[in-house]
Chain A
Amino acid sequence: MKIAVPRMGNLSLIIKDMVQRFDLDYLETPPFTEQTMEIGAALAPEFACLPLKAVLGTFVGALAMGADTLVTGGGHGPCRFGYYGEIQRRILEREGHDFRMVVLEPPSVSLRAFHDSIRSVIPREQVGFGTLARELYLTLSKVLLLDMLDKRALQLRGLEVVAGSVDEALADAQEIVSRAFTRKELSAARKEGDARFREVEIEWDRPHLKVGLVGEIFVVLETFFNFDIEHWLGRRNVVVERSVTISDTCDPFHRNPVFGYPEHMVARMAKPYLSHEVGGDGLLTVGSSVIFARRGFDAVVHFLPFTCMPEVIAKGVLGRVSQELEMPVLSLSIDEQTGKAGVETRLEALLDLAWSNKAKSLHARAELQAVT
């Protein structure tokens, strides 16, 4: 059984962990390229969302490299994601490939369904339930650690004194964490990672912008599709906070440990603008934008795949959020035709606007202080 799993942000690090824990035979999927997208877009239905096309292209490549078991995520929410596996399976079978498609139901939907689906890849004979539960819990702890490291890097990158020093620290910390497997090792790795970040020289009083990053998880996490937004912003003195992460999505109790605001609070914040769950990350997009606005952020960047249903609804109401809470929001709809130049131009315009707003409010504050 040779497994292939699609790439998405830190997912490849997580898979490497599981592969070592459970001794699985794994094929590392190559990074996304123009060609992957072309292949995927050619085979997929025209109005299928980008993640389906991208993953399909990846799977074609993986099958050519010898994979025989394709693993993808499931779910039954109103968003289409849960149905990808089925459509991809049919398309690949029609193309004449021989393989097994395993759909992993996310633990946040049903722990039981997750368990049953993961057993297709990690059979009972190999690993007993107790061991499986304990090891998966440790994997999830590692995911949480990796996401917290990302969060730290996003905060510091815009203020680093030496260009690239935060990314070096992040790479080192990730390396330390990937070598940790037991609870003790993970705890030690966390302390070491934090220490490594403290070594980076930071200019805390540098004038900077605070920008929130929201949207559909795949395009927000995959650098190929968001044109490496986190580094792009980091190079321009922007402190970034992202509301969507793998840990938060998988948390069975919806606490959002990385973002820091549990789901019920996000829903409450979103209520005046979007008062119902719409599937995918829709409600989170709106709720977290409201939270960022209230925390005085200078702008929000919203990434979504073209025709993503929940995000199109979010996009529709973000206009109101932006107007009423006086914070610019830029929605970027990504598909296989999206060009880098167009995206960069709009992002630059957003930052210009944010700087100009900031200058105005600082000026107004200074005037007020001069008078009083």
Chain B
Amino acid sequence: MTRIGLPRALLFHQYGDAWKSFIETLGLEPVVSSTTTGEILTSGTAHTDNESCLPVKVFTGHLLKLKEAADAILVPRVVTQNRGMKSCPKYLGLPDIARAIDHDLPPIFAPVMDLADRRHKWVNDWYEMALRFGASQSAARAAVKAMLASLKSCMAPLAGAATTDAGFNVGVAGHVYNLQDPRVSMGLLDRIRVMGASPLVVEKVPRRLIRRELKTLERKIRWDSESDIVGAVLHWSRSRSVAGVIYLSSFACGPGSMIGALIEDQFGREKSVPLMSITLDEHSGEGGLVTRIEAFLDMLRYASANDPSSAAGGAR
């Protein structure tokens, strides 16, 4: 077993580097699927339950792409990302869904990642898996070490606040796996730049600021990524560091629908900056999305032109 497949979907966008360094340190070859194509999207949709959220459909497409290209596929089970938080159920059941999709897939390995556990007891799963791949005990230990080091740099706290650029800032809130996927997001971030605005993303907002905003909520949000999104969105809105916010959600995303309602309601109460909610699905036509973004950005530009004290420019 030398080629270990990694589907370029879901949490690969966050922890992929750590997973790759684990595999490479063992002397094995990581095989990552290509970026999402129309074909991957179609095959994923065809092989998943149609009620599944879009990201799971994308994941399935990538998984099927790796059928011939790998001897084994790595689908880690990311159980927690922060303390006191829960993962989306889809992360918890992902390996099981993967195993139920196609009988001809290469064996799927699902070591646990419990990032809230500061003592890293979960690395034992990875150690055992390395031994099963034929590594020696010392090689397995080295691979685990490499992965932990890589994770540390993934998750290091960011220095400094989000900086402002020329043009005006637009907060783009959504999951990493949607925004960093050029096909799923239709290149949203680049389009915004081309239209003369500066997109700000959730990952660049310091955790300290996110936590501060989350404390003001009446009920704690228990989903990791969603909680970060809400914190970032509230920070942008309350500090007026953006002219407007675009909230990007996936078709049938459970947590996304809940916090979408929360964000809309809270913005309605605070009346700070304009908010636009977009739902992505596998049928999203480029034209529709582009038109909406253009209209929204035009509206923001118009508002700032007529009201010099408003947020477009955000010098903070």
Contact = CB atoms under 8 A, between A and B. Distances in A.
Interface of A: 44-49, 76-80, 82-83, 85-87, 90-91, 94, 103, 273-280, 282, 306-310, 312-313, 315-317, 319-320, 333
17 contacts: A46-B279, A76-B222, A77-B222, A80-B257, A82-B222, A86-B218, A87-B261, A87-B262, A90-B261, A276-B93, A278-B93, A309-B88, A309-B90, A312-B49, A316-B52, A317-B100, A320-B100
B265 A94 contact: yes
Contacts of B254: 47, 49, 79-80, 307-309
B93 A47 contact: no
Given A277-B92, A313-B97, A86 B86 contact: no
Contacts of A319: 100
A239 B120 CA distance: 49
B252 A307 contact: yes
* Highest count of chain A CB atoms <10 Å: which of B97, B110, B221, B256: B97
B89 A310 contact: yes
B86 A47 contact: no
Contacts of A48: 257-258, 261
B139 interface: no
B196 interface: no
A320 B103 CA distance: 10
Contacts of A46: 257, 279
Interface string B78-111: 0100000011111011011101100000000010
Given A315-B49, A315-B51, A320-B100, A282 B89 contact: yes
A85 B265 contact: no
A273 B96 contact: yes
B93 A274 contact: yes
A280 B53 CA distance: 17
A277 B89 CA distance: 8
Can you list the 10 inter-chain pairs with the closest CB atoms, starting with the nearest? Answer: A47-B257, A313-B93, A309-B89, A45-B261, A309-B254, A278-B89, A90-B265, A86-B219, A78-B86, A78-B89
Nearest to A335: B51
Contacts of B8: none
Contact of A78 (B92, B97, B99, B265): B92
Contacts of A80: 254-255, 257-258
Contacts of A47: 251-254, 256-257, 279
A313 B221 contact: no
A333 B90 CA distance: 18
B86 A77 contact: yes
A317 B79 CA distance: 19
B182 interface: no
Given A48-B261, A273-B96, A312 B222 contact: no
A275 B89 CA distance: 13
Nearest to B254: A309
B48 interface: yes
User: What interface size band does chain B fall in?
Assistant: 35 or more
Contacts of B262: 86-87, 90
A363 B97 CA distance: 36
Contacts of B90: 309, 313
* Highest count of chain B CB atoms <10 Å: which of A79, A90, A306: A90
B167 interface: no
Contacts of B77: 276
Contacts of A274: 93, 96
Contact of B51 (A94, A103, A307): A307
Contacts of B87: 78
A310 B86 CA distance: 13
Given A48-B257, A276-B79, A320-B100, A313 B51 contact: no
B223 interface: yes
A78 B96 contact: no
A236 B99 CA distance: 36
Given A48-B258, A276-B96, A310-B89, A83 B51 contact: no
B260 interface: yes
Nearest to A279: B89
A273 B93 CA distance: 10
Given A279-B92, A310-B89, A316 B100 contact: yes
A48 B254 CA distance: 7
A307 B89 CA distance: 12
B268 interface: yes
* Highest count of chain A CB atoms <10 Å: which of B52, B89, B100, B223: B89
Nearest to B101: A316
Nearest to A74: B219
Contacts of A282: 89, 93
Interface in B255-300: 255-258, 260-262, 265, 268, 279
Contacts of A87: 258, 261-262
A45 B86 contact: no
Contacts of A90: 261-262, 265
A153 B48 CA distance: 37
Nearest to B251: A47
A315 B110 CA distance: 20
A303 to B, nearest CB: 13
A292 to B, nearest CB: 18
Interface in B114-166: none
Contacts of B255: 80
Given A78-B89, A309-B89, A316-B93, 10 more contacts: A76-B86, A77-B86, A78-B92, A79-B89, A80-B255, A82-B222, A83-B219, A274-B93, A274-B96, A310-B89
Contacts of A78: 86-89, 92, 222-223
Interface in B218-249: 218-223
Contacts of A316: 48-49, 52, 93, 96-97, 100
Contacts of B93: 274, 276, 278, 282, 310, 313, 316-317
Nearest to A46: B257
B86 A279 contact: yes
